[in-house]
Structure 1
Amino acid sequence: MKEGIRKRLVETALAIAFGAAGGVATYFAAQQPSDAVILAMELGSYYESSGRHIGTPYVDRLGKGQPLSVCNGVTGPEVAAGRTYSREDCKRLELARYIEAERLARAGLKHWDTYNVWVRVSLIDMVYNLGPSVLDGTTLVRLGNSGNLVGMCEQMPRWVHGTANGQSVVLPGLQDRRATTRELCVEWGRDGHFSAGLITEAQP
């Protein structure tokens, strides 16, 4: 995992643990996002754009169908060409999608409640980034539901293909992202900095 995202995740986890997490947790207090959602949003922000696409939508030329996109990977009917999206607009749109990704992951993985927060973060990120198809009868889900946590995590690096010029290609950005989710799932999920909402072990 690159040092930049490692630092951001640990700092966000510390802020959550000590009640100092602002941003999502404060702005959307009424929705009470889980710790895993807040951390997954930090992870997604790092890999999607790190704030570069707050403003006007752009065409995602590496996405299937080259959708109109804005903020940190937001697509769909709420994204309108020519509209300007504020930071608050982006938080609202992203949070709703992350909460839905968490709901889908929880519904699709029967051992969800046994996973620590880092495993949950890795899976929420997979669903947010790839869509619900990652949960649709895949080997990842089959292994997870059989109780094979490590086997499930090791499936993550397979999901690295995108569409460029109409062809399915391996995207380096997805390789980096999946390497991070795998590490969170296998290593932090097992030994973890952060389990059941509490910091349990400080690792370098």
Structure 2
Amino acid sequence: MNAALRNRLLAIAASAVLASGTAYVASQQPSAEVVLAMELGSHFESSGRHIGTPYVDHLGKGQPLTVCNGITGPGVEAGRYYTREDCHRMELPRYREAEKQAKNRLRYWDTYNAWVRASFIDMVFNLGPGALDGTTIQRLANAGDLAGACAQMPRWVYGTVSGQRTRLPGLEARRDATRELCAEWGKDGHFSAGLLVP
């Protein structure tokens, strides 16, 4: 994982720890893992480059009209300008849905730390609802083999380019980052240990 992303994730974690001591309605705030997953998405989808006018994603299935950090489908209108606030309003419900999908499919979800949860949320957001269904990742995680499940993440790096199944460098970097979060962050001896524990 590159240093810039690592530092942003740690800053988010520090903010979440500080915010946990303040009074606010928790149900209105996204979980720490959703906020972390949104940062992953922002980093790997566009790093803010696609705030504004939608573009055609030539690597996406069906080459969808895309805006913000990977948002496609209903609500994305050609020619409309999307602000950062518009993007946040569109992205947050989709990340919350990804969190719900992952939680419903992974038996030991409640035992995972926020880093592990964020890695799974990012995968579901990126790959779509039901992405974990029937996968080796799901089977291993539900058998209690989280390390084995994390090790499977780098397998999900293919897209279609000119009709051919192709490894995509952007997905390779993204999956390496989620594998690292899943397998190492929050564990004893790691620099992130003690931050955002369940």
Q: Which ranges in structure 1 are unaligned for 5 or more consecutive residues?
A: 21-25, 200-204
Query: What does 1:104-123 correspond to in 2, within 5 Å?
Result: 104-123=101-120
Query: What does 1:1-204 correspond to in 2, within 5 Å?
Result: 1-19=1-19, 31-191=28-188, 193=192, 197=196
Does the 8 Å CA contact 1:118/1:194 hold for their aligned counterparts? no
SS of the counterpart of 2:140? helix
Q: TM-score, normalised by structure 1?
A: 0.89
RMSD between superposed Cα atoms in Å: 2.0
Specify whether residues 74 and 106 from structure 1 end up closer, same or farther in structure 2 by C-alpha distance, changes over 3 A only.
same
Does the 8 Å CA contact 1:68/1:81 hold for their aligned counterparts? yes
Q: TM-score, normalised by structure 2?
A: 0.91
Does the 8 Å CA contact 2:53/2:81 hold for their aligned counterparts? yes
Specify whether residues 194 and 66 from structure 1 end up closer, same or farther in structure 2 by C-alpha distance, changes over 3 A only.
farther
Query: What letter is aligned with 2:10?
Result: V
Aligned partners of 1:151 and 1:198: how far apart in 2? 21
Aligned partners of 2:42 and 2:150: how far apart in 1? 21
CA positional deviation for 1:196:
7.6
SS of the counterpart of 1:135? coil
SS of the counterpart of 2:120? helix
CA positional deviation for 1:164:
1.1
Query: What letter is aligned with 1:165?
Result: S
Q: How many residues align?
A: 193
Q: Which ranges in structure 2 are unaligned for 5 or more consecutive residues?
A: none
SS of the counterpart of 2:184? helix
Percent of residue pairs identical = 61
